[in-house]
């Protein structure tokens, strides 16, 4: 069943028109990376101390779905959609705000990612399983001010880490074998699938700064000083991404959210786990 699920996710990404720029017909995303976490993995409880009590476990989310007292979640299916080369290239030359193609991927590509969440949940339901996307759960909330900065009831990054897709980086993203420039998604289901291994030395080992104290290229890529050797300041980042100028640029680009992603392009981890002196 695992291959069936992977095939369906791949098919949707590679064949659906929603993954294409309407004018150019080129894709937002390349073939997905897919991983599986056990819904009762202890990590999901640990995230309450790492992120906050407001971060919900798969069991808590399931219990609050309609009829959720009648089933137990078994698996969290996660994916990373790597942003296509042409879009990454267009963002490499930017120094303050993202390229038009990047902004469109942030908005319309993410809408497609939402379609994938809905599609997979419906696909599993049609196959006789319970399934839902945490991102669209009625209790999902954004929390703009928390001790760890802006956060929400469900972190796609932390779910992806649990599913073995990558490790965290200095700039607060997730470095997968396909790099750091991607969009993430997940679906919780009672279909039991074997969890993916987490083949990394620790939870930050794909980042050169964390692995061997080198790199730090993302620090200089950030136009507003939101990244330092101490990590990523989510509030400074948010103020840059959602300020008045980005709002006006978003309107000019005809997108609801501009995004940024400068620290995810023209960096050694853009499209791979960077090699350094020390093996990852």
Which residues are near ligand SF4 by CB under 6 A? 169-171, 207-209, 215-218, 221-222, 224, 226-227, 232, 237, 240-241, 260-263, 267-269, 274
Q: How many residues does the chain have?
A: 280
Q: How far is the CB of 265 from ligand SF4 (least distance, A)?
A: 9
Which lies closer to ligand SF4 via its Cβ, residue 78 or residue 226?
A: 226
Q: How far is the CB of 219 from ligand SF4 (least distance, A)?
A: 7
Number of Cβ within 10 Å of residue 221's Cβ equals 20
Question: Tokens in use for 81?
Answer: 């959609």
Distance CA 193, CA 18 (A): 28
Which lies closer to ligand SF4 via its Cβ, residue 78 or residue 263?
A: 263
Which lies closer to ligand SF4 via its Cβ, residue 58 or residue 268?
A: 268
Q: How far is the CB of 199 from ligand SF4 (least distance, A)?
A: 18
Distance CA 112, CA 182 (A): 13
Residue 202's SS3 state is coil
Which lies closer to ligand SF4 via its Cβ, residue 163 or residue 241?
A: 241
Using CA atoms, how far residue 234 sits from 70, 105, 153, 154, 268, in Å, is: 38, 21, 16, 16, 22
Which lies closer to ligand SF4 via its Cβ, residue 37 or residue 170?
A: 170
Residues 6+ apart with CB under 8 A from 91: 98, 99, 101, 102, 261, 262, 264, 265, 266
Q: How far is the CB of 209 from ligand SF4 (least distance, A)?
A: 4
Q: How far is the CB of 53 from ligand SF4 (least distance, A)?
A: 26
Which lies closer to ligand SF4 via its Cβ, residue 169 or residue 186?
A: 169
Q: How far is the CB of 241 from ligand SF4 (least distance, A)?
A: 6
Using CA atoms, how far residue 237 sits from 149, 161, 204, 232, 269, in Å, is: 10, 22, 20, 8, 19
């Amino acid at each position: 069943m695992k291959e069936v699920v992977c095939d369906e996710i791949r098919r949707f990404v590679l064949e659906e028109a929603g993954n294409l720029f309407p004018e150019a017909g080129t894709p937002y995303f390349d073939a997905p990376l897919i991983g599986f976490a056990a819904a009762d993995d202890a990590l999901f409880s640990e995230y309450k101390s790492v992120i906050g009590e407001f971060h919900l476990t798969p069991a808590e989310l399931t219990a609050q779905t309609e009829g959720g007292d009648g089933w137990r979640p078994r698996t969290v299916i996660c994916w990373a959609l790597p942003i296509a080369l042409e879009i990454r290239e267009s963002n490499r030359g930017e120094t303050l705000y993202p390229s038009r193609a990047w902004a469109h991927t942030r908005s319309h590509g993410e809408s497609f990612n939402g379609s994938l969440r809905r599609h997979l949940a419906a696909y599993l339901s049609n196959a006789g399983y319970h399934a839902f996307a945490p991102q669209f759960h009625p209790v999902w909330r954004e929390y703009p001010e928390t001790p760890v900065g802006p956060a929400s009831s469900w972190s796609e990054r932390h779910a992806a880490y649990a599913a073995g897709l990558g490790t965290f980086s200095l700039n607060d993203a997730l470095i997968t074998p396909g790099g750091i420039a991607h969009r993430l998604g997940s679906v919780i289901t009672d279909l039991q699938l074997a969890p993916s291994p987490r083949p990394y030395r620790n939870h930050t080992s794909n980042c050169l700064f964390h692995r061997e104290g080198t790199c730090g290229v993302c620090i200089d890529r950030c136009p507003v000083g939101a990244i330092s050797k101490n990590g990523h300041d989510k509030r400074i980042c948010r103020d840059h991404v959602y300020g008045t100028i980005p709002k006006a640029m978003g309107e000019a680009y005809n997108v609801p959210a501009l995004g940024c992603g400068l620290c995810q392009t023209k960096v050694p981890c853009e499209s791979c786990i960077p090699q350094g002196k020390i093996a990852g």
